[in-house]
Structures are given as C-alpha cells and as structure tokens.
Amino acid sequence: MVVQLKYGRSCVPLDIGVLVNPQVLTGREAKPLADLRSEVLSRLRHPTGTDSLLHEVKRRRARTVVIIVNDITRPTPYTDILPPLLSELREAGIADEDVTLVVATGIHRGMTPEEMRLTLGREICETYRVVNHDCDDEENLVPLGTLPFETELRVNRIVLEADFVIATGVISPHYFAGFSGGRKAILPGVSGRATISHNHSLMTSEAAAVCNLDGNPVHIEMVEAARKAGVHFIVNTVTDGVGKVAAVVAGDVEKAWLEGVKICSDYVVAPVAREVDVAIASAGGFPKDINVYQAQKAIDNADRAVRKGGTIVLLAECPEGCGEPTFESWMTEARSLDDIFRRFAAGFVLGGHKAYSLARVLRDKEVVLVSSLDDVLARKLFFTPAKSLEEALHLVESKHGKDYDSIVMPCAGIVVPVPGGGMAGKVTLQQL
C-alpha cells in the first residue's frame, strides 16, 4: 500500500510495506459538499444564533461593512465563500465601495498584491478595498479595555469604525487555543502586538491545549475580544480529517463557531492504540508547510503519538524558511535547548513562543526534517536534516533498528492523536 504524503504543492509516495506493523492515522473524511457556494449561501440565509445576514445588516442600518479574511497561511476557500457573501451584502443595499476586506495577519507579514489575488480572487481584489492589518501600527489601534486575564485589548481602527463586522475563517485544531476560526479573527487576527503577546503568554496554562476549550484562558480571552470588538456575524468552513471542507457554519460568533468546533472534533480526533517509536508525518502540504513556523503544528500533533526517545520524521517543504524573525533568532542563537527554556522563562515574546513549543518536543524526541532548508539552518533549528524520505527512513533504521513500530500521519497538521485507543475526556468543549 502506498500512502501519498503532501509536500509543498506535490506529494511524496511512501510504500508502507517497508515498515513493520505501521498504523496509518487519518481523521474521518466527510462526505463532499455538492456545491460549496450554495452551502455558504444557505448558511447565510439560515444561520445559527442570529437572523439571516441580510436581515441583520438591514436591522442595524449598516452602511459600511468590514470582512475579516485570513492570510495565505490558512487554507480558507475564499473563491467560494466571498462571492455569495458579497452578493448578499449587495442585496442588503451595501455598495461595493463601502465594503473593506481586512487581512487578519496577526503578527504575520502582510500579503503581497499577488498573494491577495491568489487567496481572494483577482476580481474581488480589483473591485473591493483590501488592506493588511499591521499589529505595530499604533496610530491605527484602538484600546477596548482589559480582557479576563489582564490582557489590554487594542484592535484595528478600520474594523471598529465599520457599521457591520463579518469574521471569516476555517475551524481546525489549534495547539494552544483549542481550535482555530471564529473569535481568532479578532485576537490575534486584527489586534496589536502587545495584545497578542499577552494573550499568547497564557499558553503555559495546562488548559491551553489542542482541542480543549474548558477553562482555556487563551480561548476565553479570544471570545471576549470578539464581543468587545463587535463581531456581528461569522462565516467559517470546518475542516475534516483529510483537510477538506466538511461543513460551513455561519451566524453568531460564539454559537455558530461552537457548532463548527463540535463538527470538526468529530472528524480530526483519532485514537491510536499506543505510543510508537516513530511517526512519519506530513505537515499537509501548501500552505501548511510554507515555513517552519506553520509546520510546527504538525510536530506538536505527531508528538502526542510518539514515545519519549522516539523520532518524528516530518515532511515540510518550507520554501519561506523559518517564517518569522523572532522564532528564527531564538532557535538559531541558542547553543542548546536549555537556552530557549531560559529565554522563555525570562519573559514571553511572540515568535519565541513557537521556539518554546518546538523545544518542548525536541527535548524528548528527535525530529528528522525532510525539507528544502539548507542543512546548516536545519541543524541550527535542532533538526536532523534529510534530503529525501528514503534518507530519513535510513536514519530512523540506524537509530531504532529494523523492528521499530511506527505511525504514518498524512495530515499531521490537523489530525490529533489520542493514545490508548480511547477518546473519552480527551476533547473538552466549553459550553458557551
């Protein structure tokens, strides 16, 4: 049996016949939606927790609308989401020139014009105003008070000055916010750097874990931020266990999103019989492996399935290298993993939090990285570099012998392993 492992915009075949008693871990695959645009339109007209989008816009007598959109690092199908959404806004009396699309970059770089056209569609970019959020533009950040865990909330002025705010995104597992999507469009999406930094510093809480919302301080603050910023409506796609769209949810920023979370968890949480010696994992291809910063999510998930002292083989092209300057400096300036832990203990820094998360895995497990990175850089990041999957498997055999047990994760960026074969109590959803 050959398993195709996504790598950038291509795939690397793996003949699992060369492995001893391999487990192939995938989430559940949803039945394909017949017509995604029609499904989006249906949800806009029959949302969860609100009246229809058209009714809500008219009820609030809105004249200006902001649509918050993801950047290129998120696989959100905007060419299917935006046309029916914009059509409904026109039906509600909103002129094209009164709609602004704000790219929720968080601390990421802004999208280039070409990336905007690729992500959102050329016609939309030519018709509507599209702007990148800048978390460091202090003059364009408005204070909105304090969040439950003492985070000072500052949000993009363009978003706050709109009569009606629509947040879009994709719901999938997140390694410390529980799940992506929904409220994340505001925090971190269009918040200031200091706001994002303090909120993300709460990731050290035991409750700040993948697929957990119960008592998760990161998530709790994100929900409050979305309410304070005045998100009136959301449209989110839901990811299944193979990275495809399983469903569309729309409506209230809490109720509709939680509906999507419950759907997502049913597809992406996967029980495994036991922890294994080796995980062979794909980050999921472009854009999930656009850089190391994004591919780290796959390492975090694979870590859950591998015993202490084991090995993770990660396929991630990383054409943009590390992907975030602070993350890169923390990793490459460290002489040992202990340096990263000491630096993190001295004070939370955005970008450094990814270095800390990666170091926690690397402390107990080797990560063999198949990527386009230079070997010198890969080693500075504390990876063992390999130019091919074949070379990586040879390194694994040299370390573990020929009888190692393994798990293959074709979609490691979105599938969450639950060791022990049981799922009870492993996914906890806060009742919003």
Q: Are residue 247 and residue 290 in the same domain, yes or no?
A: no
Q: How many residues does the chain have?
A: 432
The whole-angstrom separation of Cα 63 and Cα 227 is 20
The DSSP-derived string for 48-96 is: BSS--HHHHHHHTT---EEEEE--TTS---HHHHHHHHHHHHHHTT--G
Across all residues in the chain, what is the average pLDDT? 94
- Mean pLDDT, range 264-290, rounded to an integer: 93
**Helix/strand/coil for 24:** strand
Cβ 313 vs Cβ 3: under 8 Å: no
Question: Based on the structure, what is the number of domains in the chain?
Answer: 2
Q: What is the mean pLDDT of residues 269-295?
A: 93
Two structure tokens written together for 368: 């063999």
The model's pLDDT over 51-70, given as tens digits with 9 standing for 90+, comes to 999 999 999 999 999 999 99
Range of the domain at 382: 2-27+273-419
Distance CA 277, CA 365 (A): 10
Instruction: Report the CATH number at residue 126.
Output: 3.40.50.11440
- Predicted confidence at residue 73, as pLDDT, reads 81
Helix axes 352-362, 292-303, angle to 10 degrees: 40
Report yes or no on 380 lying in a domain. Answer: yes
Please report whether residue 424 resides in a domain. Answer: no
The secondary element (H helix, E strand) that includes residue 289 is none
* Domain identity same for 262 and 321: no
Q: Give the end of a domain, one of 267, 302, 334.
A: 267
Question: Are 235 and 336 contained in the same domain?
Answer: no
Query: Is 173 found in the same domain as 40?
Result: yes
Q: Give yes or no: residues 310 and 379 share one domain.
A: yes
Looking at the structure, do residues 192 and 318 belong to the same domain, yes or no? no
Position 173 in a domain: yes
Closest CA to 255 of 83, 56, 14, 430: 430
Of the candidates 133, 174, 219, 232, the residue annotated as catalytic is 174
**Domain membership flag for residue 179:** yes
- Residue 242's H or E segment, with its range, is none
- The tens digit of pLDDT for each residue in 358-390 reads 999 999 999 999 999 999 999 999 999 999 999
Identify whether 174 is a catalytic site residue: yes
Domain assignment present for residue 150? The answer is yes
Residues above pLDDT 70, as percent of the chain: 97
Same-domain pairing of 126 and 188: yes
List the beta bridge partners of residue 235.
Answer: 168, 250
Domain-terminating residue out of 267, 289, 310: 267
- Specify if 432 maps to a domain: no
Both 396 and 301 in one domain: the answer is: yes
Strand pairing report for 173-174 and 178-179: antiparallel
Chain centre distance of CA 26: 18
In the predicted model, what is the mean pLDDT of residues 334-356? 94
Instruction: Please state, in angstroms and rounded to a whole number, the distance separating the CA atoms of residues 84 and 159.
Output: 21
Same domain, residue pair 278 and 262:
no
Where is the domain boundary, 223, 250, 267?
267
348 phi/psi in degrees, rounded to 5: -70, 135
Q: Which residues of 359-385 are buried (b: 16+ CB within 10 A; e: fewer)?
A: bbbbeebbbbbbbebeeebbebbbbbb
Map tokens 């992907």 to a residue. Answer: 323
Peptide bond into 325 cis (omega under 30): no
CA distance 233 to 50: 8
Active site residue 108: yes
Report d(CA 88, CA 84) in Å as an integer.
6
Confidence of residue 301 (pLDDT cuts 50, 70, 90): very high
User: For residue 271, what are the β-bridge partners?
Assistant: 418
> 148-203: per-residue pLDDT in tens?
999 999 999 999 999 999 999 999 999 999 999 999 999 999 999 999 999 999 99
Q: Are 103 and 124 within 8 A, CB to CB?
A: no
Q: Is the pLDDT assigned to residue 428 strictly greater than 70?
A: no
Q: Does residue 287 sit in the same domain as residue 225? A: no
Dist CA 415 CA 299 (whole Å): 11
> What would the pLDDT profile of 239-271 be if each residue is shown by its tens digit?
999 889 999 999 999 999 999 999 999 999 999
Q: Which of 188, 186, 184, 187 is nearest to 170 (CA)?
A: 184
Q: Coil, helix or strand for 246?
A: strand
Q: Could you tell me if residue 357 is inside a domain?
A: yes
For residues 298 and 281, the answer to whether their CB atoms sit within 8 Å is yes
Distance of CA 228 to the CA centre of its chain: 23
Same-domain status, 257 and 298: no
Q: Which one of 46, 55, 108, 400 is the catalytic residue? A: 108
Compute the half-sphere exposure of residue 85: CA atoms within 13 Å on the CB side of its CA: 31
Would you place residue 421 in the very low, low, confident or very high pLDDT band (cuts 50, 70, 90)? Answer: low
Same domain, yes or no: 152 and 280 = no
Burial class for 136, CB neighbours closer than 10 Å (0-12, 13-18, 19+) = exposed
Phi, psi (degrees; rounded to nearest 5) at 381: -85, 5
List, as one string, the DSSP characters of 353-406: HHHHHHHHHHTTSEEEEESSS-HHHHHHTT-EEESSHHHHHHHHHHHH-TT-EE
352-362 vs 325-333: helix axis angle to the nearest 10? 40
Q: What is the pLDDT of residues 163-178, one digit of tens each?
A: 999 999 999 999 999 9
Contact 251/382 with Cβ under 8 angstroms? no
pLDDT in tens, 89-146: 999 999 999 999 999 999 989 999 999 999 999 999 999 999 999 999 999 999 999 9
Model confidence, pTM:
0.88
Omega prior to 113 cis, within 30 of 0:
no
> Is-contact 297 265, C-beta < 8 A?
no
Q: Is residue 142 part of a domain?
A: yes
Q: What is the CATH number of the domain that holds 307?
A: 3.90.226.30
Beta-strand relationship, 416-419 and 65-69: unpaired
Helix axes 337-346, 352-362, angle to 10 degrees: 140
